[in-house]
Structure 1
């Protein structure tokens, strides 16, 4: 068996559980009651999270519980195949970590009160190296391990907004010598990682019980374990239910402020402020930027020159953000900004995306033309370059159109219906980034569910309908549980088929709709038995959130049939 770093080695043999009585006794009534009182993040913590893409904290649970979890994981990894998604029922003590006030409060803060737990979970063990590595060899291995996670069961687009988050839990003390996860702050906006990024790896060290909350797309790497014991990290995924309407953290002000700690190499304040306004639920996602730069006066031609590739990256970004401060008056810079998309330095591209969003309507037609050209280029390939059945990278132009919002809706609707290929997929994604602002496109999106043959476009459309939420006909989504298309039955990634992907996205987005999905209850009851466990799990979530007596009864019946006796193992069977 291999760990996330690819390092194999002998596992220390399991020697029995520690005494669980101590931590069970210490789980007092006070601690049980605090599980119902989430500890929300502060404004400063939220702002830091938006900038760096991660936070580290410690849940308030009895210390002994981490030791119990660690020893149970040692036994599993030593004696059994990795249980994958079943790690939580296999080690159910971890529910006390996930239900702690700190973890629940952090998730509510970044994803809203109605967040969902994704069925994918995984224990990432790191075995001790066979012999100590030199500092240079350790650095090289860390660089090699660096990556951005893929989604499961099939691919999902990377997203700048806080729609997905990941909890990483470490049950053992995690000094750098045991190989904790290393994170690359600020890379949640990247399409990929560069050597410049890999040079900025920071170890997430801490005592037993350390929890790291991360943006799903932030770059990270497994460390190198040079101690004679396992290093465990257990990953849990979560997703937002609906668009933010107001701050869901302990907010004292909705005014954007740069956090005290900015551990990223480039100033992308327009990106951070835009994300802040979105998660605050503001109708204008550039409200903070406009407030700070309301009196901006600059010559667009001079700024365009300063943004050129003959200048330093930091200076170029400063010029691009100054163009954004001009808003509509920066229209003359649109061709230059569009030329930076997709191929320039990642930070320049990211700044350009949101500068184009600030310019607004004048950028729509050039961006649509750019997307159309992207589609013509990619549709001649077996698979678009940006589509990997793990992590999907949409075109920068799609992110820019999503940032523009309402002025881009009609043009995107036309492109959506014009193309079943890469351009149409990106159009669907861009509409989804607007949330309910894109509700006029719902009839066109629903039409795609029945008329397109592309499972990639259908999966993207389903996510977009889940984001829009308003006026979505849920039966059009649940009908996909019963869609039988032979061309979707071929394994395309990790033994999953397009049918699995479509049904999972359908169930997931019905779950996000909450009580609005009530008309699909009968179809969801049938989906509980879907052969893809992800689809059945999300169908259960959807029924739970619908909340009718029949839906809740079906949920309990499903859970009872899925129950797991964690005390039974390969030796003891009853």
Structure 2
């Protein structure tokens, strides 16, 4: 890759990263010659006409798109939100939109079409948890001029934190139109939709997925101030400043993910009992958010509000749930025991089902208590480690997820998580593998434990879980390969196994295996893979 000054990554500014944190997306204009987009568009059309959608093979079929993905603007933006060692996921797709069979040009028809198309993407090949932190990002690229009339993709600002899309969310969708070469960088979980194509030509939009490899330890963008402040262009419908500042501080690599909030919010003299009473008397979302914000400013002095905040989790309005999650987090240690108890209650309820209801092989909706325990920080780790012994599969899954979201704060959990890899639940093992990849501490102790899953065969994991015939065994191998990829050269002890994994019939495993193989011994086999 050419890294001359001319092609050096152009990092995002503070304002652009703030927009990404709040709205869930930013728009990029790569410095790629116009004729490249014309070639891409022509080749995509030919691929679709000759052999159908190439799916994950779209990039090898149209390699000119590398000019866009390797452009200083796109590389710089990906570094800015995912870190310098970001990983290109093997999944990519050309979203082809044909002209509507009975095109309608009135505004209502367009609005109805967009509303019907609104969704959050599923993970591939099988489910992964929706996440608040910037761990997965999506590039959406237009190779042709894409006005609204051509069915431009719409985005729903602020929905990257949501556990689903509501009708109210659908009404907030806005078009992302632009000239050929326009790229939008989005949080993977932000809601979006195809528009209505009323022009007599097809629309192409090509999607690429990228993954954060390592925990942020310092801002990876052109950061001039590490103190959080909202962007000038706030498109999200609700004030979630506590959530936004928490995510910003995580992206800055701060050990205290509430540093910015503490700097700006001095303890008020309000009584918690009065605030809770006020909270119970009002229904309007914005007013309730203001009250919760006042509670959060009290920090550890707001312990009396803990049971009321926990009641809001999982069932209340999404914005209220988020405010409650991160208010419980800033209250800190006093919230840990009640949150663990609430999580265990959820686990008991899910035991009535053969598969936990929030577990979906498109995307997994973790319990709000898991996010709140993550938000508490390192003081929740010991209680989470103990909860790994809970009898409920759903509880254990959420505990492992929370530990992974704590990154290196959860280093003490590594020995117990390694033991958990012996569990027979593929759902739990998948979550533990992800957690170990995120924590990335005490690496030599678990490289072998993870790499064994690239070759291990467990009959109970061979059941097909998806219409595309993916099995739990496939996804476990993918999670193991991805965890090793995130470890980079620290995974060198797994080299021989990784080379064998290149032959895995699941293409995703082989793709991550290639990314893992740093050693010269892998070169002959990699050449054969060509």
- Normalising by structure 2, report the TM-score: 0.97
Counterpart in the other structure of 2:463: 490
Q: CA RMSD in A?
A: 1.4
Aligned counterparts of 1:309 and 1:372: Cα–Cα separation in 2: 29
Query: 2:30 pairs with 51, 59, 84, which one?
Result: 59
Report the alpha carbon displacement of residue 483 of structure 1 after superposing the two structures with TM.
Answer: 1.6
Report the alpha carbon displacement of residue 420 of structure 1 after superposing the two structures with TM.
Answer: 5.3
SS in structure 2 of the partner of residue 177 of structure 1: coil
Query: 2:436 pairs with 453, 459, 465, which one?
Result: 465
Q: Hey, which bits of structure 1, 4+ residues long, moved more than 6 A?
A: none
SS in structure 1 of the partner of residue 11 of structure 2: coil
CA contact (8 A) 1:309 1:316 kept: no
Aligned counterparts of 1:165 and 1:529: Cα–Cα separation in 2: 28
Alignment of 1:208-287 (within 5 A): 208-287=180-259
Aligned counterparts of 2:222 and 2:90: Cα–Cα separation in 1: 28
- Normalising by structure 1, report the TM-score: 0.90
Alignment of 1:122-521 (within 5 A): 122-133=93-104, 134-308=106-280, 310-419=282-391, 421-450=393-422, 452-472=423-443, 473-493=446-466, 494-521=468-495
Counterpart in the other structure of 2:72: 101
CA contact (8 A) 2:30 2:182 kept: yes
CA contact (8 A) 1:145 1:221 kept: yes
Aligned counterparts of 2:125 and 2:42: Cα–Cα separation in 1: 29
CA displacement, residues 361-393 of structure 1 (integer Å, 9 cap, x when unaligned): 111111111110111111211221211101111
Give ranges in structure 1 of 5+ residues lacking alignment: 1-28, 564-574
CA contact (8 A) 2:28 2:183 kept: yes
Please state if 1:70 is matched with 2:41: yes
Aligned counterparts of 1:360 and 1:35: Cα–Cα separation in 2: 47
Tell me which moved more, 57-66 or 306-315: 306-315
Q: How many residues align?
A: 526
Report the alpha carbon displacement of residue 253 of structure 1 after superposing the two structures with TM.
Answer: 1.2
Aligned counterparts of 1:140 and 1:321: Cα–Cα separation in 2: 35
Tell me which moved more, 253-262 or 37-46: 253-262
Aligned counterparts of 2:149 and 2:246: Cα–Cα separation in 1: 38
SS in structure 2 of the partner of residue 381 of structure 1: coil
Aligned counterparts of 1:32 and 1:408: Cα–Cα separation in 2: 42
Aligned counterparts of 1:112 and 1:290: Cα–Cα separation in 2: 25
CA contact (8 A) 1:420 1:457 kept: no
Please state if 1:535 is matched with 2:509: yes
Report the alpha carbon displacement of residue 77 of structure 1 after superposing the two structures with TM.
Answer: 1.2
SS in structure 2 of the partner of residue 391 of structure 1: coil
Aligned counterparts of 2:509 and 2:324: Cα–Cα separation in 1: 37
Report the alpha carbon displacement of residue 324 of structure 1 after superposing the two structures with TM.
Answer: 1.0
Compared with structure 1, are the counterparts of its residues 261 and 249 closer, same or farther at alpha carbon in structure 2 (3 Å cutoff)? same
Give ranges in structure 2 of 5+ residues lacking alignment: none
CA contact (8 A) 2:351 2:392 kept: no
CA displacement, residues 463-490 of structure 1 (integer Å, 9 cap, x when unaligned): 0001100013100000111221111111
